[in-house]
Amino acid sequence: MDQEITCKLHGTRLRSGVAHVSYGLPSPDPDLERARVELFPNSRSTVAGGCLFGAIGDDCEVMICDQCREAENRWRKENGRRDWIGFDDILASADG
Ligand SMILES: [Zn+2]
């Protein structure tokens, strides 16, 4: 299977990373979606559950661009969105 292995935006070689699997309907966020396409196309902090082989539990392995991840985190901070890394903390605390 041929796959793009560099980020078209940053020219960064993609590496395998972890995406948070979100099940159910994602809440629509047009600003985030537009920013994702324009600013961090290979961040892939979240994926829709069931779309990927090998999706196990709450995380699955995807090819990501580190610079896209950084861009997404920066964008989320600047625009008042929750940092994707914080998702795990929320899930962990929801257990109790
Ligand atoms: Zn990138």
Whether residue 55 contacts residue 49, with contact meaning beta carbons closer than 8 Å, is answered with yes
Interatomic CA distance for residues 51 and 26, integer angstroms: 13
The model's confidence at residue 18, banded by pLDDT at 50, 70 and 90, is: confident
The model's confidence at residue 7, banded by pLDDT at 50, 70 and 90, is: very high
- Highest average pLDDT, of 12-16, 60-64, 84-88, comes from 12-16
Least confident of 26-35, 44-53, 74-83: 44-53
Does 24 score more than 80 pLDDT?
A: no
Per-domain residue ranges for the chain? 15-81
Interatomic CA distance for residues 24 and 15, integer angstroms: 27
What's the CA-to-centroid distance between 55 and ligand 1, angstroms? Answer: 23
What single letter denotes the amino acid at residue 25?
L
* Greater pLDDT, 47 or 80: 80
What's the CA-to-centroid distance between 88 and ligand 1, angstroms? Answer: 23
What's the CA-to-centroid distance between 6 and ligand 1, angstroms? Answer: 8
What's the CA-to-centroid distance between 78 and ligand 1, angstroms? Answer: 18
| SS3 of residue 50 by DSSP | coil
What's the CA-to-centroid distance between 56 and ligand 1, angstroms? Answer: 25
